[in-house]
Structure 1
C-alpha cells in the first residue's frame, strides 16, 4: 500500500511517501481503507514541532480520515466489513474527562490516517452519518467536534441566544452551522465582502468586516442591543482575546481554543487588560476537542439536521505536500481535503 510518514519534522518535504504491506487486524482490530483525510491546525503544529504531545519518529501523519472497514479481528463487535468510519481524535478517550493515560492521538503518538489502509482498534473508531461523502466525513473528528463542544460543553445554550464566531476557519464555520441548528443567533467576523456573503449563506445573522471596523467588539455590542454575545468561540488567541472579552455579555462563556499566535513562530501568550475583564463575569473555558461519546452525540445532530461540512479544496493523494502548503499558506474558506481513493 501507499502511505506517508513524517520522516523530517519541521519541513513540508519531510512528509515522505512510502510503500508498506497492508496491515492485518489483531483480535480487536479493524482495517480501514481510507478514502479521504482532512487537515487541521494541529497537523501544521506537529509538522513544525510545536505540538504539546510527543511526536513518534516516522509517524503516519493526520488525525482525521474517513473510510470503509475492509477487515476485522475475530473479537470485533462494534463494526463489520463495509461500515463507514472515522478514527477518533483521542482514540483511547471514550467518555468522561481526559486523563494523562488517555493522551494518545492519531498522527502524533500513534500512526494516523494519511495512508491507503489504516489499522485501528475497534474502540478507536466512530461510525459516520450516512448522508456525508467521504470528503465531508473526514472533516468531523477534530474541527467539527471542537466546534460542537464549544457550544454544548458548558452552560447549555438556549434558542435565541447569540453566538460570536471569528473568521472563516473550519471550527468557526462548524460553530456557525451548529449554532443555527440550535436556534441561536450568530454574529461572525471576517475580512472581505465575498466571505461575508458566504457566511450569510450559511446562516449568520450579522457579519462584521474587521478590516473596515478594527474595533469590531463595539459592532458586536451594537447588533446585540448592547448586551454582547452569550458565547464567543475564540479561535485566534492573543490577537483577538481582548476584543472577544469586550464583545461578551455579562455572564457569557468565552471558549478559548488557542493560546499562541502563529503556526511557525512561538508567538505571544494570552494577555487580557484589567479594564476589559474587571467589569465582566464571563467564564473563560478551555476545551481540547472531545471524546468518543461527544463525537457520537455530534454525529446524531449532524444527521438530524442534515448538516454538510464546508470544503475549500480537495487534493489527490500524490499531492499531500501541496495540500499542507495550501492549508498553511493560503486563505481558505472551509476544509482542505486529501482524497486517497
Structure 2
C-alpha cells in the first residue's frame, strides 16, 4: 500500500474545487483501524459543503463525504471490537455512541470540520464503526450512515411509530425513500409528496399508500389530512424545513410530531400554530452508533435494501456531485471504487 488516492474540496469553490491527489496510506494509532474503502454515497449536505454554504467552520481543504463502506485491513493497538476483514461503515458523528447527542459530538461529523471518507484508505476510531448487514453490498451499505440513520431516528427515536401509524415523508430523496421503506417495514401507512408524477409512480410501486403532487396542489397539507379521514398524520419526516411548515402542520394530527431533518426551504415558523396544535417539532441530527446498530439489525431482519438511483466510478466523483445537484434522482447517488 504505497498510494492513497484522496479527494479534497475547497469549501466555496463548488465542484470545480474537488481535487484528486495522492497521499500516503495512513497508519492507525491506538484504538484506530485502517479501512480500505469500497463505496460512498452523497447527501445534499455534501453540495452545501462544496458550495461553502454549510453552517460549520471548515478547514481550507477537507476530504468530503460522511457516507461510505469499506473493509478493515489493519487494527491499531488495543482494538478488540472488530477484526481484520470485517465489512463496516463509519458512523456520521464519530464520538456519538449512544444516548443524547452532546455539544462536542457535532465537531466529530465526518466531511465537515474533520476529514471525511472519499479516499481509498482512511483511519477512524474503532468505536466509530458499525458492521454492515450481511445481505448488503458495499454500495448498499454506503447509503446508510446519514440518510438511513436519519430516517430511523426520525421514525423510531424519541416517539417511535407503531403498526397502523400514518407517516408523511416529504420528497423522494435519500431520507424520504428510506423513511418509506422503514415505515412500511414497521407496519405504518406512508404518504409521499413529490413534484414529479413519474417519481410518484415509482414511490407507489415501492409501497407508498398515497402520493400527493405538491406542484399541482398548493394546499397539499389539507389534501394529506383528507387522506387520513380528517384526523391528520402521526408523524412528518420533513426534509424541507420552515418553508413547508404551514403545510406540514396542516397535515399533522393534534399532538403529532414533525421530525425536522433538513432546512432546504426557507421561511417563517408560526409559534402560535405550534402552541395551539400541541405538536412536537424534533430536530434530527442523524443519529448515534446505537441508532445505526438498531437500524442495521432491522435491515437484516427484514432483508431491506436501499434504492440506488445511479452509481459513478471513483474517478468520476465530480460527475456524481453534479448529478445530485440536478435533483432528478430517486433514492441515493453512489460512488464506487473498482
Q: Which interval holds the TM-score relative to the shorter structure?
A: over 0.9
How far apart in 1 are the matches of 2:244 and 2:313?
A: 35
Q: Does 2:113 match 1:109?
A: yes
Distance in 2, Cα, partners of 1:239 & 1:110: 30
Q: Which residue of 2 aligns with 1:44?
A: 47
Q: Report the aligned-residue RMSD.
A: 1.5
Paired residue for 1:271, among 254, 269, 272? 269
Give the C-alpha shift of residue 50 in structure 1. 2.1
- Kindly indicate whether residue 299 of structure 2 is the aligned counterpart of residue 302 of structure 1: yes
CA contact (8 A) 1:259 1:270 kept: no
- Distance in 1 between residues matched to 2:224 and 2:86, nearest whole Å: 44
Give CA-to-partner distance per residue, 1:155-182, whole Å, 9 cap, x none. 2322111000111011000011111011
Gaps of 5+ in 2: none
Q: What is the aligned length? A: 334
Contact 1:162 1:184 in 2 (8 A): yes
Q: 1:332 is matched with which residue?
A: 329
SS in structure 2 opposite 1:163?
strand
- Aligned positions of 1:84-99 closer than 5 A: 84-99=87-102
Equivalent residue of 1:2, what SS?
A: strand
| Cα distance between partner residues in 2 of 1:122 and 1:131 | 22
Residue 303 of structure 1: how far off its partner (Å): 0.8
Structure 1, unaligned stretches of length 5 or more? 262-267
User: Is the Cα contact below 8 Å between 1:31 and 1:117 reproduced in 2?
Assistant: yes
**Alpha-carbon distance in 2 for matches of 1:239, 1:101:** 29
Equivalent positions of 1:89-168 (< 5 A) are: 89-103=92-106, 104-168=108-172
Distance 1:96 1:183 in 2: 26
Shift of 1:306: 0.8
Q: Residues 67 and 85 of structure 1 are in contact (CA less than 8 Å); yes or no, is this contact kept in structure 2?
A: yes
The answer to whether the aligner puts 1:175 opposite 2:179 as a matched pair is yes
CA separation of 1:125 and 1:273: change in aligned 2, threshold 3 A: closer
**4+ runs of 1 displaced by more than 6 Å?**
none
1:7-54 Cα distance to aligned partner (Å, 9 max, x none):
453321111110011122222221111011001121112212222322
Q: 1:35 aligns with which of 35, 38, 44?
A: 38
Shift of the alpha carbon at 1:101? 2.3
| TM-score of the superposed pair, with normalisation by structure 2 | 0.95
Output the TM-score relative to the length of structure 1: 0.94
